[in-house]
Structure 1
Amino acid sequence: MSSVHSEAARLLGARIRDERQRFAINQMELADLAGLHFTNLGKIERGQANPSLHTILRIAGALNLNPGALLDGMTADMLPDRPHRVTVADLIRAREANT
């Protein structure tokens, strides 16, 4: 069985599943409304897929949601193997300290 991609993927999937269940529709119905294959939607809901922006927008549209609601509160710290922990604010502070 595939593992969860990241905490962000797990949370996104849980939010999509919760919204789908709130409307009392199954994965096949939501996938059809969003123009996806139901197996892909299942992987997304389990956090086993990293959906593209287009896929997130399709799902949010089908659920009549602002896509931001699905991503609210998520941060880059929820991603595995983040290459840099430095932010643009850190970079600017370092530049100002060197001048």
Structure 2
Amino acid sequence: MTSNSDAARLLGTRIREERQRFAINQMELAELAGLHFTNLGKIERGQANPSLHTILRIAGALNLNPAVLIDGMTPDMLPERPHKVTVADLIRARETGGTS
């Protein structure tokens, strides 16, 4: 499955930069994270949407707080966001008598 979202590309770039900072290759990081290297390659290229567990495995292997990998990302970086309404918008609508 091809993700190609801005969020997936940014996550992949951050993982690749951290991996390169340690001067290790994809096979080495994949081994440390318990992943197949082809899956790691897809993640680094922004072509995969890794699960929370996979993100945590990669962050753990890099000895990194996983928040560093997703810092600053927003729902607007996703390709298809079904609702642009937030919980604040919903509460505001309830308070003014409107429905959403």
TM-score normalised by the shorter chain: which range applies? over 0.9
Aligned counterparts of 1:8 and 1:62: Cα–Cα separation in 2 = 21
TM-score, structure 2 as length reference: 0.94
Q: Which residue of 2 aligns with 1:95?
A: 94
Distance 1:52 1:3, change over 3 A: closer
Which amino acid letter does the alignment assign opposite residue 20 of structure 1?
R
Q: Which residue of 1 aligns with 2:78?
A: 79
Structure 2: gaps of 5 or more residues = none
Please provide the CA RMSD for this pair: 1.4
Q: Which residue of 2 aligns with 1:37?
A: 36
Runs of 4+ in 1 over 2 A off after TM superposition: 2-5
Q: Which residue of 1 aligns with 2:51?
A: 52
In structure 2, the residue corresponding to 1:86 is in which secondary structure?
coil
Deviations 1:39-81 (A, max 9, x none): 0000000000000000000000000000000000001110011
Aligned counterparts of 1:3 and 1:82: Cα–Cα separation in 2 = 16
Query: Number of matched residues?
Result: 98
In structure 1, the residue corresponding to 2:79 is in which secondary structure?
coil
Aligned counterparts of 1:33 and 1:4: Cα–Cα separation in 2 = 24
**1:5 CA displacement:** 2.4
Identity %: 83
